[in-house]
Amino acid sequence: MDAPLVTPCNIQICEVTCDSFRIVWDMTPEDTARATHFFIDLSRKDSRDPNRFKHRDVPTKLVAKAVPLPMAVRGHWFLSPRTEYCVAVQTAVRQPDGDYLVSEWSQVVEFCTGDYAMEHLQQLHDKGKGSAGRLLKFSVFYRNQHPDYFNHVRSECGGLMRPALKDSSGSHGSPINGKLNGVFFSCNTEFDTGLPPKDSPYGPLRFQIPAGFLLNPNTCLYFADFYCMYTAYHYVVLVLAPVGSEGDIFCRTRLPMLDLASNPFLTYTAPQQPGEEPLYCHASDVILEVLFTEPVHLDQGSVEQISGHHQLMSLTTANAKKDPSCKVCNISVGR
């Protein structure tokens, strides 16, 4: 009768990305020589019981032929970015009759997958480019809020709209979610007027600032996300960060940088002749969410009441979750 396999121990996880990791554990030389398969029990930390197999002779949901360790585990169909997982392993020897001699389960190890890498964001960028549409002129960035917000800015913040931490809306793997501070602005205009829309889901008061205060040769522009919320229209998240600022340094190694004068979403064209004004354009067929990484003073613009409605709460993107089934804005890694 074959000797039992030793329980794997000292489980270690390394080289973690948004949809892959490597796993290694200690095995005896005897087990290393005779193991034919590894069984990997992988489940989300918040719901691991449903995926846990109770019987020693039932292969787990990941079965791999024995390979030299560390072993790579990858696959967007079961790994998502920024998600906590539990993992345990068994070693196994396939018998001549097709049954398996298996070890006991190892101890459970927890780990968390990473953000989208630059290559994944470039895939999102390319998908967003396909939906962006033609470029339209605009002249102001704007930000809608309720009166309490602007009262607080004036009375408690000295008139400065201070950067706030980006929420979890959009793609779960976007590197800026929960990590980058900024002030959100819009710049989309209506086709017929060339002006900002009359309605807003964010509040009845609108702060407007000339486009050149935020978008100019002294700012860097980055692509951060492309998503939808179970709707026909799509959102593109961009980051504007002054050159050399903390926001710029954060984005430089995490997000694709865009050419201010030539990109599908938001452009600045310098004056061609003396006396001319710069030209600012936005993509027409996506809704742009522009995160400016520095404080903005109310004195740089004006606050006015909008003429339309502000109770369009279905359009707000606060902590909104991305539609994982949309073929337009999803890529072949975790959502």
Q: Which helix (H) or strand (E) holds 151?
A: helix 147-156
If we measure between CA atoms, which residue out of 266, 189, 178, 177 comes closest to residue 220?
266
- Please give the pLDDT value at position 54: 41
State the span(s) of the chain assigned CATH 2.60.40.10: 9-113
**pTM for this entry:** 0.86
CATH code 2.60.40.10 for 9-113: yes
How confident is the chain (335 residues) per 10-residue block, as mean pLDDT? Answer: 88 94 95 93 70 41 87 80 92 91 94 94 96 96 96 97 94 94 96 87 93 97 94 93 98 98 97 91 96 98 84 58 87 68
Taking the C-alpha atoms of residue 174 and residue 223, their distance in angstroms, rounded to an integer, is 10
- Please give the pLDDT value at position 52: 45
- Please give the pLDDT value at position 56: 41
- Please give the pLDDT value at position 57: 40
Q: Which is it for strands 135-137 and 164-165: parallel, antiparallel or unpaired?
A: unpaired
266 contacts 318 by C-beta, under 8 angstroms: no
280-314 residues labelled b (16+ CB within 10 A) or e (exposed): bbbbeebbbbbbbbbbbebeebeeeebeeebeeee
293 contacts 252 by C-beta, under 8 angstroms: no
- Please give the pLDDT value at position 312: 53
